[in-house]
Structure 1
Amino acid sequence: MATCPDPRYAGYRYPAEIIATAVWLYFRFPLRLRMVEELLAARGITMSYETVRQWARKFGAEIADQLRRRAPRRGDKWHLDEVVLIIGGRKHHLWRAVDQEGSVLDVLVQSRRDAKAAKRRLRKLLKKQGCAPRVLVSDKLNAYAAAKLTIMPGVEHRQHKGINNRAENSHQPTRRRERQMKRFKSPRQVQRFLSIHDPINTLFHLRRDSRPASEYRTARAQAFATWAEVVGVPLAAA
Protein backbone atom coordinates (compact mmCIF):
# COMPACT_ATOMS: atom_id res chain seq x y z
CA MET A 1 0.00 0.00 0.00
CA ALA A 2 1.48 3.33 -1.07
CA THR A 3 1.95 6.11 1.44
CA CYS A 4 0.19 9.32 0.52
CA PRO A 5 2.23 12.56 0.73
CA ASP A 6 -0.90 14.62 1.49
CA PRO A 7 0.02 16.89 4.44
CA ARG A 8 -3.38 16.30 6.04
CA TYR A 9 -2.22 12.83 7.05
CA ALA A 10 1.31 13.76 8.12
CA GLY A 11 2.30 12.42 11.53
CA TYR A 12 -0.32 9.68 11.65
CA ARG A 13 0.69 6.14 12.40
CA TYR A 14 -1.64 4.64 9.78
CA PRO A 15 -1.51 5.24 6.01
CA ALA A 16 -3.93 7.72 4.49
CA GLU A 17 -5.79 4.94 2.65
CA ILE A 18 -6.75 3.30 5.95
CA ILE A 19 -7.83 6.58 7.55
CA ALA A 20 -9.98 7.53 4.55
CA THR A 21 -11.51 4.05 4.39
CA ALA A 22 -12.42 4.09 8.08
CA VAL A 23 -14.13 7.48 7.70
CA TRP A 24 -15.99 6.25 4.60
CA LEU A 25 -17.20 3.09 6.33
CA TYR A 26 -18.48 4.98 9.36
CA PHE A 27 -20.43 7.65 7.48
CA ARG A 28 -21.49 5.64 4.44
CA PHE A 29 -23.05 2.67 6.26
CA PRO A 30 -25.12 2.35 9.46
CA LEU A 31 -22.19 1.04 11.49
CA ARG A 32 -21.18 1.68 15.06
CA LEU A 33 -17.59 2.63 15.77
CA ARG A 34 -16.87 -0.84 17.12
CA MET A 35 -18.21 -2.39 13.91
CA VAL A 36 -15.78 -0.33 11.83
CA GLU A 37 -12.99 -1.42 14.18
CA GLU A 38 -13.95 -5.06 13.62
CA LEU A 39 -14.19 -4.73 9.82
CA LEU A 40 -10.68 -3.29 9.72
CA ALA A 41 -9.42 -5.95 12.13
CA ALA A 42 -10.69 -8.63 9.73
CA ARG A 43 -8.30 -7.12 7.18
CA GLY A 44 -5.35 -7.22 9.58
CA ILE A 45 -5.60 -3.57 10.64
CA THR A 46 -5.60 -3.29 14.42
CA MET A 47 -6.80 -0.08 16.05
CA SER A 48 -9.17 1.22 18.72
CA TYR A 49 -12.70 2.35 17.94
CA GLU A 50 -11.74 5.60 19.67
CA THR A 51 -9.19 6.12 16.91
CA VAL A 52 -11.99 5.78 14.36
CA ARG A 53 -14.03 8.34 16.32
CA GLN A 54 -11.17 10.85 16.27
CA TRP A 55 -10.61 10.35 12.54
CA ALA A 56 -14.33 10.77 11.85
CA ARG A 57 -14.43 14.09 13.70
CA LYS A 58 -11.16 15.48 12.33
CA PHE A 59 -11.40 14.47 8.69
CA GLY A 60 -15.16 14.06 8.23
CA ALA A 61 -16.03 17.77 8.39
CA GLU A 62 -13.32 18.70 5.91
CA ILE A 63 -14.38 15.97 3.49
CA ALA A 64 -18.04 17.02 3.74
CA ASP A 65 -17.15 20.68 3.06
CA GLN A 66 -15.22 19.76 -0.07
CA LEU A 67 -18.03 17.52 -1.30
CA ARG A 68 -20.53 20.37 -0.86
CA ARG A 69 -18.30 22.71 -2.88
CA ARG A 70 -17.95 20.13 -5.65
CA ALA A 71 -21.63 19.19 -5.76
CA PRO A 72 -23.52 20.04 -8.97
CA ARG A 73 -26.30 22.58 -8.93
CA ARG A 74 -29.28 21.10 -7.13
CA GLY A 75 -32.82 20.86 -8.45
CA ASP A 76 -35.39 23.65 -8.34
CA LYS A 77 -38.07 21.63 -6.54
CA TRP A 78 -37.49 21.53 -2.79
CA HIS A 79 -39.14 19.05 -0.45
CA LEU A 80 -39.32 19.95 3.24
CA ASP A 81 -40.08 17.63 6.11
CA GLU A 82 -39.34 17.16 9.79
CA VAL A 83 -39.20 14.23 12.18
CA VAL A 84 -39.22 14.09 15.96
CA LEU A 85 -36.05 13.14 17.83
CA ILE A 86 -36.04 12.45 21.56
CA ILE A 87 -32.72 13.75 22.87
CA GLY A 88 -32.03 13.62 26.59
CA GLY A 89 -35.72 13.08 27.28
CA ARG A 90 -36.74 16.23 25.37
CA LYS A 91 -38.49 16.49 22.03
CA HIS A 92 -36.57 18.06 19.16
CA HIS A 93 -37.41 18.41 15.48
CA LEU A 94 -34.98 17.41 12.76
CA TRP A 95 -35.78 19.41 9.66
CA ARG A 96 -34.45 18.34 6.27
CA ALA A 97 -34.70 19.76 2.77
CA VAL A 98 -34.03 17.68 -0.35
CA ASP A 99 -34.44 18.31 -4.07
CA GLN A 100 -36.44 16.23 -6.53
CA GLU A 101 -33.52 13.82 -6.98
CA GLY A 102 -33.27 13.12 -3.26
CA SER A 103 -30.06 15.10 -2.75
CA VAL A 104 -29.95 16.64 0.72
CA LEU A 105 -29.89 20.45 0.65
CA ASP A 106 -29.73 21.18 4.36
CA VAL A 107 -30.53 19.85 7.83
CA LEU A 108 -31.35 21.71 11.01
CA VAL A 109 -32.20 20.58 14.55
CA GLN A 110 -34.63 22.81 16.43
CA SER A 111 -36.69 22.55 19.59
CA ARG A 112 -39.73 24.23 18.04
CA ARG A 113 -41.76 23.82 14.85
CA ASP A 114 -43.73 27.09 14.76
CA ALA A 115 -43.67 29.84 12.13
CA LYS A 116 -40.62 31.53 13.66
CA ALA A 117 -38.66 28.27 13.49
CA ALA A 118 -39.85 27.67 9.90
CA LYS A 119 -38.67 31.15 8.86
CA ARG A 120 -35.25 30.44 10.29
CA ARG A 121 -35.09 27.21 8.31
CA LEU A 122 -36.05 28.85 5.02
CA ARG A 123 -33.64 31.77 5.48
CA LYS A 124 -30.79 29.37 6.21
CA LEU A 125 -31.70 27.24 3.21
CA LEU A 126 -31.95 30.22 0.84
CA LYS A 127 -28.60 31.57 2.00
CA LYS A 128 -26.98 28.20 1.48
CA GLN A 129 -28.47 27.57 -1.98
CA GLY A 130 -28.15 31.12 -3.25
CA CYS A 131 -31.50 31.19 -5.04
CA ALA A 132 -35.17 30.41 -4.50
CA PRO A 133 -36.76 27.19 -5.81
CA ARG A 134 -39.40 26.91 -8.50
CA VAL A 135 -41.64 24.77 -6.29
CA LEU A 136 -41.76 24.15 -2.56
CA VAL A 137 -43.34 20.89 -1.34
CA SER A 138 -44.24 20.24 2.28
CA ASP A 139 -46.82 18.61 4.48
CA LYS A 140 -49.79 20.56 5.83
CA LEU A 141 -47.97 22.17 8.74
CA ASN A 142 -49.31 25.76 8.86
CA ALA A 143 -45.91 27.10 9.89
CA TYR A 144 -44.53 26.33 6.43
CA ALA A 145 -47.22 28.36 4.68
CA ALA A 146 -46.72 31.35 6.98
CA ALA A 147 -42.95 31.27 6.58
CA LYS A 148 -43.15 30.86 2.82
CA LEU A 149 -45.37 33.94 2.43
CA THR A 150 -42.76 36.02 4.25
CA ILE A 151 -39.50 34.56 2.90
CA MET A 152 -40.37 33.55 -0.67
CA PRO A 153 -43.86 34.83 -1.57
CA GLY A 154 -43.52 34.23 -5.31
CA VAL A 155 -42.69 30.52 -5.04
CA GLU A 156 -45.36 27.92 -5.75
CA HIS A 157 -46.16 25.98 -2.58
CA ARG A 158 -47.71 22.51 -2.67
CA GLN A 159 -48.90 21.22 0.69
CA HIS A 160 -49.89 17.59 0.60
CA LYS A 161 -48.48 14.72 2.62
CA GLY A 162 -48.92 12.23 -0.22
CA ILE A 163 -46.56 14.07 -2.61
CA ASN A 164 -43.78 14.64 -0.09
CA ASN A 165 -42.38 11.11 -0.05
CA ARG A 166 -38.98 12.30 -1.30
CA ALA A 167 -38.28 14.22 1.92
CA GLU A 168 -39.87 11.59 4.16
CA ASN A 169 -37.72 8.85 2.66
CA SER A 170 -34.58 10.93 3.19
CA HIS A 171 -35.03 10.54 6.95
CA GLN A 172 -34.62 6.76 6.81
CA PRO A 173 -30.77 6.71 6.93
CA THR A 174 -30.92 9.01 9.96
CA ARG A 175 -33.34 6.70 11.73
CA ARG A 176 -31.06 3.74 11.08
CA ARG A 177 -28.10 5.62 12.51
CA GLU A 178 -30.14 6.69 15.52
CA ARG A 179 -30.86 3.04 16.32
CA GLN A 180 -27.24 2.01 15.86
CA MET A 181 -25.99 4.86 18.07
CA LYS A 182 -28.55 4.08 20.80
CA ARG A 183 -30.10 7.51 20.27
CA PHE A 184 -28.35 10.80 19.81
CA LYS A 185 -26.86 12.43 22.89
CA SER A 186 -27.40 16.13 22.13
CA PRO A 187 -28.76 18.45 19.39
CA ARG A 188 -25.19 19.57 18.71
CA GLN A 189 -24.11 15.97 18.13
CA VAL A 190 -26.97 15.40 15.67
CA GLN A 191 -26.19 18.59 13.75
CA ARG A 192 -22.47 17.83 13.60
CA PHE A 193 -22.94 14.20 12.60
CA LEU A 194 -25.54 14.84 9.88
CA SER A 195 -23.58 17.76 8.43
CA ILE A 196 -20.90 15.17 7.61
CA HIS A 197 -23.09 12.15 6.97
CA ASP A 198 -25.49 13.72 4.46
CA PRO A 199 -22.94 15.02 1.88
CA ILE A 200 -21.15 11.66 1.90
CA ASN A 201 -24.42 9.75 1.67
CA THR A 202 -25.61 12.04 -1.14
CA LEU A 203 -22.43 11.40 -3.16
CA PHE A 204 -23.16 7.66 -3.14
CA HIS A 205 -26.95 8.05 -3.41
CA LEU A 206 -27.20 6.38 -6.82
CA ARG A 207 -30.72 5.38 -7.79
CA ARG A 208 -30.83 1.97 -9.45
CA ASP A 209 -34.44 2.03 -10.58
CA SER A 210 -35.08 2.69 -14.26
CA ARG A 211 -31.38 2.71 -15.22
CA PRO A 212 -29.32 -0.11 -16.78
CA ALA A 213 -26.63 -1.80 -14.72
CA SER A 214 -23.84 -0.40 -16.89
CA GLU A 215 -25.04 3.16 -16.28
CA TYR A 216 -25.26 2.55 -12.55
CA ARG A 217 -21.72 1.15 -12.43
CA THR A 218 -20.41 4.14 -14.36
CA ALA A 219 -22.07 6.50 -11.88
CA ARG A 220 -20.68 4.50 -8.98
CA ALA A 221 -17.17 4.62 -10.45
CA GLN A 222 -17.50 8.39 -10.79
CA ALA A 223 -18.57 8.66 -7.14
CA PHE A 224 -15.50 6.69 -6.07
CA ALA A 225 -13.30 8.88 -8.28
CA THR A 226 -14.74 12.03 -6.69
CA TRP A 227 -14.15 10.56 -3.24
CA ALA A 228 -10.53 9.75 -4.10
CA GLU A 229 -9.94 13.31 -5.32
CA VAL A 230 -11.43 14.81 -2.16
CA VAL A 231 -9.58 12.63 0.37
CA GLY A 232 -6.38 12.44 -1.68
CA VAL A 233 -6.28 8.62 -1.90
CA PRO A 234 -8.47 5.78 -3.19
CA LEU A 235 -10.28 3.50 -0.79
CA ALA A 236 -8.09 0.77 0.67
CA ALA A 237 -8.53 -2.63 -0.97
CA ALA A 238 -10.11 -5.38 1.09
Structure 2
Amino acid sequence: MRLSSRRRPCSPPKSAFTGFRFPSEVIVVAVSWYLRYNLSYRDVEELLIERGVEVDHVTVFRWVQRFTPLLADAARFARHSPGDRWFVDETYVKVNGVWRYAYRTVDQHGPVIDVLVSARQDAVAARQFFLRALRVLKVRPTEVVTDAAPVYPAVLDELVPSAWHHVVRHANNPIEADHSQLKHRLRPMRGLGTDQTAQLIIAGHAFIQNLRRGHYEPGFDASPELRVATAFSELARVL
Protein backbone atom coordinates (compact mmCIF):
# COMPACT_ATOMS: atom_id res chain seq x y z
CA MET A 1 0.00 0.00 0.00
CA ARG A 2 1.50 3.32 -1.08
CA LEU A 3 1.31 6.26 1.26
CA SER A 4 0.17 9.51 -0.22
CA SER A 5 2.98 12.03 -0.68
CA ARG A 6 0.56 14.93 -0.54
CA ARG A 7 1.18 17.20 2.42
CA ARG A 8 -1.61 18.40 4.58
CA PRO A 9 -2.15 22.14 4.41
CA CYS A 10 -0.70 24.01 7.37
CA SER A 11 -3.38 25.50 9.57
CA PRO A 12 -2.81 29.09 10.71
CA PRO A 13 -1.73 29.53 14.34
CA LYS A 14 -4.56 30.05 16.75
CA SER A 15 -5.15 33.52 18.07
CA ALA A 16 -4.79 34.08 21.82
CA PHE A 17 -8.40 35.28 21.70
CA THR A 18 -9.72 31.98 20.33
CA GLY A 19 -12.38 30.53 22.60
CA PHE A 20 -13.34 33.83 24.21
CA ARG A 21 -16.95 34.89 23.78
CA PHE A 22 -16.17 38.57 23.36
CA PRO A 23 -14.19 40.07 20.44
CA SER A 24 -10.59 41.06 20.92
CA GLU A 25 -11.48 44.77 20.67
CA VAL A 26 -13.63 44.56 23.80
CA ILE A 27 -11.05 42.53 25.73
CA VAL A 28 -8.08 44.82 25.05
CA VAL A 29 -10.13 47.92 25.84
CA ALA A 30 -11.15 46.45 29.20
CA VAL A 31 -7.56 45.48 30.00
CA SER A 32 -6.18 48.88 29.02
CA TRP A 33 -8.83 50.71 31.08
CA TYR A 34 -8.03 48.68 34.15
CA LEU A 35 -4.27 49.12 33.89
CA ARG A 36 -4.35 52.76 32.87
CA TYR A 37 -7.00 54.38 35.05
CA ASN A 38 -7.83 54.28 38.76
CA LEU A 39 -10.59 51.74 38.27
CA SER A 40 -11.68 48.56 40.02
CA TYR A 41 -12.86 45.49 38.11
CA ARG A 42 -16.44 46.48 38.96
CA ASP A 43 -15.83 49.97 37.56
CA VAL A 44 -14.72 48.44 34.27
CA GLU A 45 -17.77 46.17 34.31
CA GLU A 46 -20.08 49.20 34.70
CA LEU A 47 -18.35 51.17 31.96
CA LEU A 48 -18.74 48.25 29.55
CA ILE A 49 -22.40 47.79 30.46
CA GLU A 50 -23.00 51.48 29.75
CA ARG A 51 -21.70 50.77 26.25
CA GLY A 52 -23.96 47.76 25.73
CA VAL A 53 -21.42 45.07 26.64
CA GLU A 54 -22.68 42.92 29.50
CA VAL A 55 -19.71 41.30 31.17
CA ASP A 56 -19.07 40.28 34.78
CA HIS A 57 -16.23 41.86 36.76
CA VAL A 58 -14.79 38.37 37.36
CA THR A 59 -14.43 38.01 33.60
CA VAL A 60 -12.61 41.35 33.47
CA PHE A 61 -10.26 40.04 36.15
CA ARG A 62 -9.57 36.93 34.07
CA TRP A 63 -8.89 39.06 30.97
CA VAL A 64 -6.39 41.19 32.86
CA GLN A 65 -4.63 38.10 34.25
CA ARG A 66 -4.51 36.41 30.86
CA PHE A 67 -3.71 39.22 28.44
CA THR A 68 -1.53 41.67 30.38
CA PRO A 69 1.61 39.49 30.12
CA LEU A 70 0.76 38.50 26.53
CA LEU A 71 0.48 42.12 25.39
CA ALA A 72 3.67 43.11 27.21
CA ASP A 73 5.54 40.15 25.72
CA ALA A 74 4.29 40.98 22.21
CA ALA A 75 5.76 44.48 22.59
CA ARG A 76 9.07 43.30 24.05
CA PHE A 77 11.04 43.43 20.80
CA ALA A 78 9.57 46.81 19.87
CA ARG A 79 10.80 48.46 23.05
CA HIS A 80 13.19 51.36 22.68
CA SER A 81 16.64 50.79 24.15
CA PRO A 82 16.86 51.85 27.80
CA GLY A 83 19.32 54.42 29.08
CA ASP A 84 22.52 53.53 30.87
CA ARG A 85 21.79 55.36 34.14
CA TRP A 86 19.49 53.35 36.41
CA PHE A 87 17.66 54.58 39.51
CA VAL A 88 16.77 51.66 41.81
CA ASP A 89 14.56 51.60 44.88
CA GLU A 90 11.98 49.45 46.64
CA THR A 91 8.59 50.44 47.99
CA TYR A 92 5.94 48.71 50.08
CA VAL A 93 2.74 47.16 48.72
CA LYS A 94 0.15 45.21 50.66
CA VAL A 95 -0.66 41.73 49.34
CA ASN A 96 -3.46 39.82 51.05
CA GLY A 97 -2.99 41.93 54.16
CA VAL A 98 0.79 41.37 54.29
CA TRP A 99 3.42 43.92 53.31
CA ARG A 100 5.64 43.05 50.37
CA TYR A 101 8.57 44.83 48.75
CA ALA A 102 8.25 46.06 45.17
CA TYR A 103 11.69 46.55 43.64
CA ARG A 104 11.57 48.97 40.72
CA THR A 105 14.04 50.80 38.50
CA VAL A 106 13.78 53.62 35.96
CA ASP A 107 16.43 55.09 33.70
CA GLN A 108 17.35 58.73 33.14
CA HIS A 109 14.71 59.07 30.42
CA GLY A 110 11.81 57.92 32.62
CA PRO A 111 10.74 54.44 31.48
CA VAL A 112 10.31 51.74 34.10
CA ILE A 113 12.94 49.14 33.30
CA ASP A 114 11.68 46.27 35.44
CA VAL A 115 9.81 45.38 38.63
CA LEU A 116 9.95 42.53 41.13
CA VAL A 117 7.60 41.80 44.05
CA SER A 118 9.40 40.03 46.89
CA ALA A 119 8.59 38.90 50.41
CA ARG A 120 12.12 39.82 51.46
CA GLN A 121 14.33 42.88 51.45
CA ASP A 122 17.77 41.33 51.31
CA ALA A 123 20.67 40.50 49.03
CA VAL A 124 18.86 37.47 47.56
CA ALA A 125 15.91 39.61 46.44
CA ALA A 126 18.17 42.41 45.16
CA ARG A 127 20.23 39.93 43.15
CA GLN A 128 17.12 38.32 41.67
CA PHE A 129 15.82 41.75 40.71
CA PHE A 130 18.99 42.80 38.88
CA LEU A 131 19.32 39.41 37.17
CA ARG A 132 15.77 39.80 35.79
CA ALA A 133 16.44 43.28 34.45
CA LEU A 134 19.77 42.35 32.90
CA ARG A 135 18.38 39.19 31.32
CA VAL A 136 15.28 40.81 29.85
CA LEU A 137 16.95 43.91 28.43
CA LYS A 138 20.41 42.53 27.67
CA VAL A 139 21.76 46.01 28.48
CA ARG A 140 24.18 46.83 31.25
CA PRO A 141 24.11 50.21 32.99
CA THR A 142 27.18 52.38 33.41
CA GLU A 143 25.76 53.97 36.56
CA VAL A 144 23.32 52.70 39.20
CA VAL A 145 21.79 55.08 41.73
CA THR A 146 20.37 53.52 44.91
CA ASP A 147 19.60 54.45 48.47
CA ALA A 148 22.00 53.53 51.23
CA ALA A 149 20.67 49.97 51.70
CA PRO A 150 23.66 47.79 52.61
CA VAL A 151 22.70 44.93 50.25
CA TYR A 152 23.35 46.78 47.00
CA PRO A 153 27.17 47.21 46.87
CA ALA A 154 28.01 43.49 46.94
CA VAL A 155 25.24 42.60 44.45
CA LEU A 156 26.30 45.32 42.02
CA ASP A 157 29.99 44.40 42.35
CA GLU A 158 29.05 40.86 41.37
CA LEU A 159 26.64 41.53 38.51
CA VAL A 160 27.75 44.86 37.02
CA PRO A 161 31.24 45.52 38.37
CA SER A 162 31.97 48.16 35.72
CA ALA A 163 29.01 50.34 36.77
CA TRP A 164 29.50 53.30 39.08
CA HIS A 165 27.34 52.80 42.18
CA HIS A 166 26.06 56.22 43.18
CA VAL A 167 24.64 56.84 46.67
CA VAL A 168 23.83 60.51 47.32
CA ARG A 169 21.07 62.12 49.34
CA HIS A 170 18.06 62.97 47.09
CA ALA A 171 19.83 61.46 44.05
CA ASN A 172 17.10 58.81 43.84
CA ASN A 173 14.20 61.24 43.51
CA PRO A 174 13.18 60.03 39.99
CA ILE A 175 12.28 56.52 41.16
CA GLU A 176 10.69 57.75 44.39
CA ALA A 177 8.43 60.07 42.38
CA ASP A 178 7.52 57.15 40.16
CA HIS A 179 6.55 55.08 43.23
CA SER A 180 3.84 57.66 44.01
CA GLN A 181 2.18 57.07 40.64
CA LEU A 182 2.08 53.34 41.34
CA LYS A 183 0.59 53.86 44.80
CA HIS A 184 -2.05 56.16 43.30
CA ARG A 185 -3.03 53.39 40.88
CA LEU A 186 -3.11 50.64 43.53
CA ARG A 187 -5.34 52.58 45.94
CA PRO A 188 -8.73 51.78 44.31
CA MET A 189 -7.82 48.08 44.04
CA ARG A 190 -8.35 47.64 47.81
CA GLY A 191 -5.48 45.23 48.09
CA LEU A 192 -3.91 42.52 45.95
CA GLY A 193 -4.72 38.87 46.53
CA THR A 194 -1.46 37.06 45.78
CA ASP A 195 2.19 37.83 45.10
CA GLN A 196 1.69 36.61 41.53
CA THR A 197 -1.20 39.02 40.97
CA ALA A 198 0.79 41.87 42.51
CA GLN A 199 3.72 41.16 40.19
CA LEU A 200 1.44 41.06 37.16
CA ILE A 201 -0.46 44.26 37.99
CA ILE A 202 2.62 46.29 38.96
CA ALA A 203 4.43 45.14 35.80
CA GLY A 204 1.30 45.93 33.77
CA HIS A 205 1.15 49.42 35.25
CA ALA A 206 4.79 49.95 34.25
CA PHE A 207 4.01 48.70 30.73
CA ILE A 208 1.16 51.20 30.37
CA GLN A 209 3.35 54.03 31.68
CA ASN A 210 6.04 53.23 29.16
CA LEU A 211 3.54 53.09 26.30
CA ARG A 212 2.07 56.45 27.27
CA ARG A 213 5.54 58.01 27.38
CA GLY A 214 6.42 56.74 23.91
CA HIS A 215 9.05 54.18 24.90
CA TYR A 216 7.70 51.51 22.56
CA GLU A 217 7.34 51.49 18.78
CA PRO A 218 3.61 50.51 18.84
CA GLY A 219 1.60 53.71 19.19
CA PHE A 220 4.71 55.88 19.03
CA ASP A 221 3.46 58.01 16.12
CA ALA A 222 -0.01 58.51 17.64
CA SER A 223 -0.89 61.54 19.71
CA PRO A 224 -0.17 61.09 23.45
CA GLU A 225 -3.89 60.75 24.17
CA LEU A 226 -4.23 57.84 21.72
CA ARG A 227 -0.93 56.04 22.24
CA VAL A 228 -2.21 53.30 24.55
CA ALA A 229 -5.35 52.59 22.50
CA THR A 230 -3.35 52.54 19.26
CA ALA A 231 -0.63 50.33 20.72
CA PHE A 232 -3.10 47.83 22.19
CA SER A 233 -4.93 47.58 18.86
CA GLU A 234 -1.64 46.91 17.04
CA LEU A 235 -0.49 44.35 19.61
CA ALA A 236 -3.84 42.54 19.64
CA ARG A 237 -3.45 41.80 15.95
CA VAL A 238 -0.26 39.80 16.54
CA LEU A 239 -1.56 37.71 19.47
TM-score by length of 1: 0.82
Deviations 1:104-159 (A, max 9, x none): 11111122222333222222222222131021111111211222122212111111
Q: Give 2:15's match in structure 1, choosing from 3, 7, 15.
A: 7
Structure-2 residue corresponding to 1:98: 106
CA distance 1:223–1:36, change in 2 (3 Å) = closer
In structure 2, what is the Cα distance between the partners aligned to 1:10 and 1:185?
28
Are 1:186 and 2:186 an aligned pair? Answer: no
Q: Which runs of 4+ in 1 moved over 6 A?
A: none
**One-letter amino acid of the counterpart of residue 53, structure 1:** F
SS in 2 for 1:73: coil
User: Is residue 2:237 matched to residue 1:228?
Assistant: no
Distance in 2 between the 1:47 and 1:226 partners? 24
Residue of structure 1 equivalent to 2:4: none
1:212 corresponds to: none
CA contact (8 A) 2:102 2:117 kept: yes
Which residue of structure 1 aligns with residue 70 of structure 2? Answer: 62
**Secondary structure, counterpart of 2:114 in structure 1:** strand
The alignment partner of 1:21 has SS state of: helix
Asked if the contact 1:30/1:173 (under 8 Å) is kept, the reply is no
1:17 aligns with 2:25: yes
Tell me: CA distance 1:190–1:222, structure 2 relative to 1, closer, same or farther (3 Å).
closer
Whichever structure has more helix as a proportion of its residues is 1
Identity of paired residues, percent? 30
| Structure of greater Rg | 2
Asked if the contact 2:25/2:233 (under 8 Å) is kept, the reply is no
Conservation of the 8 A alpha-carbon contact between 1:206 and 1:220: no
User: Secondary structure in 2 aligned to 1:72?
Assistant: coil
Change (3 A) 1:11 1:129: closer
State how far apart, in whole Å, the 1-side matches of 2:59 and 2:23 are. 13
* Number of residue equivalences: 221
**Unmatched segments (≥5 aa) in structure 1:** 1-5, 208-214, 234-238
Once structures 1 and 2 are overlaid, which stretch shifts more, 220-229 or 120-129?
A: 220-229
Quote the offset at 1:195 in angstroms: 2.8
How is 1:27-42 mapped onto 2 (pairs within 5 angstroms)? Answer: 27-42=35-50
Q: For 2:151, what is the secondary structure of its paired residue?
A: helix
Map residues 152-231 of structure 1 onto 2, 5 A cutoff. 152-205=160-213, 218-221=223-226, 223-231=228-236
